[in-house]
Amino acid sequence: MKLDSVAPESPLPLPPGFTDVEEYVDSLLIFTTSSPILHTLCGGVHILDFLTRSPDLYSSVIPASWRQWFAHVDVQDVLDLLMREDQARLEEAAKAGRQWRGHPPPPPSLIEYVRSVKKHLLNREFEPLASRHGEARSNKQIFAGMNPKKIHEVDNFARYVDSLASDIDCHNGHCVTHLADFGAGQNYLGRVLASAPYNRNIVAIESRAHVVEGAKGLDVNTKVVKKPLVMRNKKLFRARKTAGRNEPSSTPKGGFGSGIECENSPDNRVEISDDTSVVGKTHAVGQSDLEPSRVDRQGHDESEETTQAGGGTIQYIEHRIVDGDLSSVIEHIKVPSHANSSQRETEAPAVAYECGSRTVTRAERTEPVTPGRNCREGYPVVMVISLHSCGNLVHHGLRTLVLNPSVKAVALVGCCYNLMTERLGPPTHKLHRRRHHPRLDATAGTYDPNGFPMSERFVRYKYRVIPHPDFSLAKSCDEKALAGCESSEFQAEAMDDTSCDDIIEGIRLNITARMMAVQAPENWTEGESSSFFKRHFYRAVLQRIFLDKGVVSAPPNQEDDMGCSPAGSSWGLANSDGGGTAPIVIGNLKKKNYESFNTYVRGAVEKLIAGGGEIAEVIEAKVGNMSDDEIRSYEQKYWARKKDMSILWSMMAFSAGVVEAMIVVDRWLWLKEQACIKHAWVQPVFSYALSPRNLVIVGIK
């Protein structure tokens, strides 16, 4: 089978230098597990430790030759080197000894590290897909409420999903009847796909009732469906209103004598299970009249479909997604009479499919094909889609393919990797420069079978962790420690018991690494980067204040247990035994609080005190009485370190592109490991400049 419209030539968007996916995956795994500095920058350090550790975090993590070069260039020059400089030209200039922007060329080991990271970053170049409907476009009114980024995402992904579903109809024999949107939210994507020119049948799955109601309101506001007409007996209504203004009324929300039941009414919510309910009726998009829903005594929605052939529908289902099992959802999906028709304009006329025990051609087939079931009219054939599913939702979406016979394909775009759970538990090796944090233990100790990694290849992968040298103490090891960043020979050279821990099985990414993977440093403007560099600096200095005032416990020295944190030491409140409790989380403050360090400290302290509890009492007693001059003195004392911290953060964000590649490749490998999956690929579907989480993962039975 060849999917003409959307399938890429390569199942992974390989970076330049690779033509074979297996070669790329092997190289990615070796580099990720054998580069000490990558391992440290991606999850091994945290910005809150920048001004509180001894020895200094910056000098112990960054090689001396790098620090010397960074001292002579601007932060923006560093960002250009990492993200925008032509690598071949840079290497050529370094070999020739030519200056770079008026400065000596970067150290060879830094150039090599940048090259190794870039070598393993997935290609994010986006080529817009031509619509199969020609010049026909969605009504602009449907995009109401969306910002330019959302419009770009919805417009391009709707076109992609429609073309993919049409290709599946033509070439794979599944004849997709419904698109199930995982975590539909306000249903921006579904609303566009249900409307002209796509006219698809949408099942919007969302767990939050108020979000569903908001989405239904947008359906009306964008004129996708007509506003329900409420008919009242005005004389009776006014009489009762006058007579019983203050008396409780048993009248339903739809009004007196209403011919249409209010969709917010409890009687119009069909309970399926504890976590699932069909909300209201199925909206037939574009129809001239909306019939009322009818709910029988058994609680099943019997709303009639009056959609015209070729028109789309929207059905909202309130469901809490905890795994990939959609059986309770699929059994309540309504199939319009035209949905399984073999007369859809996108279908090819003569393709053979297995149907029960016999083979039929498309011309003969009038109902969907479901493996393991007899073909029966009205049974849905579903493709699960999702636009920026957070955390494990992508994992659940992928698993719908193997847990639900009716699901024939998936097309999912993920985001918020920090919300993923961890499958394998805490690593057996130690993060020497990471102090203990309760969240690290809580997330790593979940052992969630739905967490990362998904693929057995990542779960069974064996490697040795090469300790990151302390560059503040052993400057002579700079080049050797980095010379073999991606070299299996370098890894083998350091396999003796004195230089590395025991063999590790399974790839792990802690929450800090996953949090950094959602950064988009290539999109940072000078103004934006300056703003959040300042915010990170303010937070790091405030952490130093907390340490000096006894709010938090002191981090361990490098000499303590090879840099490992003593039990209980954390970013949380200091206890009498030197340990810590829950971490101090400040979160976002008002814009005015970032105007100066003084306003930042005042705003943070005010927020922490307002939160109440033990933290509030300690903060008020130890920090609340600080004078403006004392606060200003901290800023002045550490201001010179702001550049170093900005460079470290930039290196962390740049390196974390490899972490995102690992997450995406793991999901693709899981699809390839499933016997029922015939096709699987990953490709960009948005412009990285507008939407950096732009990779869709596709799986087809």
Per-residue model confidence as pLDDT tens digits over 79-88:
999 999 988 8
From the list 501, 510, 503, the residue with the least C-alpha distance to 423 is 510
Place of tokens 């005594």: 297
pLDDT, residue 224, reads: 83
Report the SS3 class of residue 568: coil
Residue 203: which region, alpha, beta or left (left: phi > 0; alpha: psi -120 to 50)? Answer: beta
pLDDT, residue 73, reads: 95
List of residues 6+ apart from 687 with CB closer than 8 A: 126, 152, 694
Would you call the peptide bond into 566 cis, given omega within 30 degrees of 0 as the criterion? no
Low-confidence ranges of the chain (pLDDT < 50): 1, 249-274, 287-310, 341-376, 428-434, 436, 474-481, 483-501, 558-570, 576-581
What ranges do the domains of the chain cover? 1-16+126-225+277-289+315-416+679-701, 25-123+421-522+649-678, 525-641
pLDDT, residue 141, reads: 84
List of residues 6+ apart from 140 with CB closer than 8 A: none
User: Strand 313-319 vs strand 276-284: parallel, antiparallel, or unpaired?
Assistant: antiparallel
DSSP 251: -
What angle, 0 to 180 degrees and rounded to 10, lies between the N-to-C axes of helices 657-673 and 21-34? 130
Contacts 24+ apart (CB under 8 A), 135-138: 136/196, 136/197, 137/197, 138/192, 138/195, 138/196, 138/197, 138/198
User: Could you tell me if 21 and 10 are in contact, meaning their C-beta atoms sit under 8 angstroms apart?
Assistant: yes
What angle, 0 to 180 degrees and rounded to 10, lies between the N-to-C axes of helices 642-655 and 108-119? 40
pLDDT, residue 291, reads: 32
From the list 463, 423, 385, the residue with the least C-alpha distance to 663 is 423
Nearest-angstrom CA–CA distance, 151 and 142:
10
- The string of pLDDT tens digits covering residues 347-405 is 333 323 232 222 333 333 333 333 333 334 568 999 999 999 899 999 999 999 999 99
What angle, 0 to 180 degrees and rounded to 10, lies between the N-to-C axes of helices 657-673 and 393-403? 10
pLDDT, residue 367, reads: 37
Which pTM was predicted? 0.81
User: Strand 695-700 vs strand 679-684: parallel, antiparallel, or unpaired?
Assistant: antiparallel
Give the CATH fold of the 1-16+126-225+277-289+315-416+679-701 domain.
Answer: Rossmann fold (3.40.50)
Nearest-angstrom CA–CA distance, 689 and 405:
38
